[in-house]
């Protein structure tokens, strides 16, 4: 038997309803905020992700699916959405005909070669938004507020925002030197990954789950002590905007995110509900002022976030936020095979009228068919029998009250319109 590759999954049954619910709600919130859909290829030039995400990130060094096509080109399955959106922005000069902010949303599969675990797969789905234009703390607040409203629309109420200020490029360079100076005497205490990070990308050490509980970590320099006045003023204005929107947040100085392109504000949305047995990060993002120019575009800042569908789906399922049963408006039952043709025409008529309709095609007894219909989430049952057809009628049965009445076939839609 051929089985699915490790780290992937099939989507069917009630899980497809959760996916539709999560995605439809996301699209609704994006539309409400005037964000346009943008779609990019599942695979891109490897250079895009190496330059955009960063050569020293775990994603690029350990997790990307890189391959050569038949023409010898180096390609990579996309591990995240932002770099592809920026490439599209630059290649198609989407910035050329507007002086306003460019607002996009995307969704689709991403790929990372990592250890599969609960809520984490090698092929996974991600939803995200990106806004391009001049750095503006009001825009950053709008992006965060969109995330807040989205989770509330889903029905997830206990969501906390963690936020940090990474400052400008020069701020981070000063902090980088201070961090290296502090951590080098403790290099033997670092995990193997962080020993490499210390040389290539020391800020990523702060995000380490292995070393963060060690004693020397308590006195690690804080980036807030190396921020210039401009960076502080920007961040404080962003927090003022969040306060004005009554959005609760926690400033977390250890928050850095896993991608090199972030600067200034970075943030995460964390759930904290007793039913979920602990907190879980379900959304992350931030500002990136240099990514567009790094990839060959104009001096255009950006801000956005990404949401991992799989972890969010677990939360939606655990909290019971989606009705996963599949209700049917009308179930059409022919008494015997002789009435199937008429039942088929009647069923199609009801579908054309806008009713979700199922026709019982099985060659089995009427008792069996009605028993099956009663087990389904059905509102009405239409029974098509030989005697009734002689008078151009059918039996209309209320699946809840069990009441039955004879209805002319030509009046059936009108009768249903009265009752629905």
Residue ranges of the domains in the chain?
Answer: 14-168+228-318, 328-419
Q: What is the Cα–Cα distance from 82 to 5, expressed in whole angstroms?
A: 26
Would you say residue 200 has pLDDT above 80?
Answer: no
Assigned CATH topology for domain 328-419:
Rossmann fold (3.40.50)
Task: Give residue-wise pLDDT tens across range 203-240.
Answer: 777 766 666 667 777 777 888 888 888 989 999 999 99
Q: Which among 288, 350, 367, 293 has a CA at the least distance from the CA of 80?
A: 288
Q: What mean pLDDT is reported for the chain?
A: 87
Q: What is the pLDDT, as a whole number, of residue 59?
A: 54
Assign 184 a pLDDT band (cuts: 50, 70, 90).
confident
Q: Which helix (H) or strand (E) holds 165?
A: strand 159-165
Task: Report DSSP letters for 216-244, one per residue.
Answer: GGGGPPPGGGG--HHHHHHHHHHHHHHHH
Task: Give residue-wise pLDDT tens across range 384-417.
Answer: 999 999 999 999 999 889 999 999 999 999 988 8
Task: Report DSSP letters for 73-140, one per residue.
Answer: -EEEE-S-SHHHHHHHHHHTTTTTT-SS-EEEEEEEEEE-----BTTB-SEEEEEEEEEEES--HHHH
Long-range CB pairs of 114-117, under 8 A, 24+ apart, other chains included: 114/7, 114/62, 114/63, 116/6, 116/7
Alpha helices in 353-411 (DSSP H): 366-375, 386-390
The mean pLDDT of 331-343, rounded to a whole number, is 93
> What is the tally of helices (H) and strands (E) in the chain?
14, 16
Global confidence as pTM: 0.84
Task: Give residue-wise pLDDT tens across range 242-282.
Answer: 999 999 999 988 787 666 778 889 999 998 776 766 667 88
Assign 197 a pLDDT band (cuts: 50, 70, 90).
confident
Would you say residue 108 has pLDDT above 90?
Answer: yes
Please calculate the CA angle 390-395-396 and round it to the nearest 5 degrees. 145
Q: Provide the pairing of β-strand 301-308 with 278-288.
A: antiparallel
pLDDT > 90 fraction of the chain, expressed in percent and rounded:
51
Task: Note the residue count of the chain.
Answer: 420
Would you say residue 57 has pLDDT above 60?
Answer: no
Contact 396/412 with Cβ under 8 angstroms?
Answer: yes
Choosing among 3.30.565.10, 3.30.930.10, 3.40.50.2000, 3.40.50.300, the CATH entry for 14-168+228-318 is 3.30.930.10
Q: What is the Cα–Cα distance from 137 to 240, expressed in whole angstroms?
A: 9
Assign 358 a pLDDT band (cuts: 50, 70, 90).
very high
Q: What is the pLDDT, as a whole number, of residue 1?
A: 94
The mean pLDDT of 106-128, rounded to a whole number, is 86
Assign 62 a pLDDT band (cuts: 50, 70, 90).
low
Q: What is the pLDDT, as a whole number, of residue 210?
A: 66
Would you say residue 346 has pLDDT above 80?
Answer: yes
Highest mean pLDDT, choosing among 87-101, 170-184, 212-226: 87-101
Would you say residue 40 has pLDDT above 90?
Answer: yes
């Amino acid at each position: 038997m051929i089985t699915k590759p490790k780290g992937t999954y099939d989507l069917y049954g009630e899980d497809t309803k959760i996916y539709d619910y999560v995605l439809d709600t996301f699209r609704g919130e994006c539309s409400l905020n005037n964000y346009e859909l943008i779609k990019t290829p599942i695979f891109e030039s490897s250079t895009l992700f190496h330059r955009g995400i960063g050569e020293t990130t775990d994603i690029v060094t350990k997790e990307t699916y890189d391959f050569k096509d038949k023409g010898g080109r180096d390609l990579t399955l996309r591990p995240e959405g932002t770099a592809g959106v920026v490439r599209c922005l630059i290649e198609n000069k989407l910035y050329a005909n507007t002086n306003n902010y460019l607002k996009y949303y995307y969704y689709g599969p991403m790929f990372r070669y990592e250890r599969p675990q609960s809520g984490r797969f090698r092929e996974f789905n991600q939803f995200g938004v990106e806004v391009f234009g001049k750095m503006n703390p009001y825009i950053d607040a709008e992006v965060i507020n969109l995330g807040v409203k989205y989770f509330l629309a889903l029905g997830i109420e206990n969501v906390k925002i963690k936020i940090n200020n990474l400052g400008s490029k020069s701020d981070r360079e000063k902090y980088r030197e201070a961090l290296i100076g502090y951590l080098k005497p403790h290099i033997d205490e670092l995990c193997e990954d962080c020993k490499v990070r210390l040389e290539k990308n020391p800020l990523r050490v702060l995000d380490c789950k292995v070393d963060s509980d060690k004693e020397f970590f308590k006195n690690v320099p804080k980036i807030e002590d190396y921020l210039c006045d401009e960076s502080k003023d920007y961040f404080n204005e962003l927090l003022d905007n969040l306060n004005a929107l009554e959005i609760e947040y926690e400033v977390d100085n250890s928050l850095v995110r896993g991608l090199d392109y972030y600067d200034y504000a970075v943030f995460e949305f964390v759930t904290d509900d007793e039913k979920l047995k602990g907190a879980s990060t379900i959304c992350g993002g931030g500002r990136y002022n240099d990514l567009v120019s790094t990839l060959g575009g104009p001096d255009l800042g950006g801000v956005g976030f990404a949401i991992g569908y799989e972890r969010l789906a677990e939360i939606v399922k655990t909290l019971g936020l989606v009705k996963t049963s599949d209700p049917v408006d009308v179930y059409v039952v022919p008494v015997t095979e002789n009435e199937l043709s008429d039942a088929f025409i009647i069923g199609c008529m009801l579908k054309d009228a806008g009713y979700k309709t199922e026709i019982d095609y099985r060659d089995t007894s009427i008792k069996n068919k009605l028993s099956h219909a009663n087990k389904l989430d059905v509102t009405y049952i239409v029974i098509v029998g030989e005697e009734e057809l002689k008078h151009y009628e059918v039996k209309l049965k209320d699946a809840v009250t069990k009441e039955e009445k004879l209805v002319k076939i030509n009046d059936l839609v009108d009768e249903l319109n009265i009752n629905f």
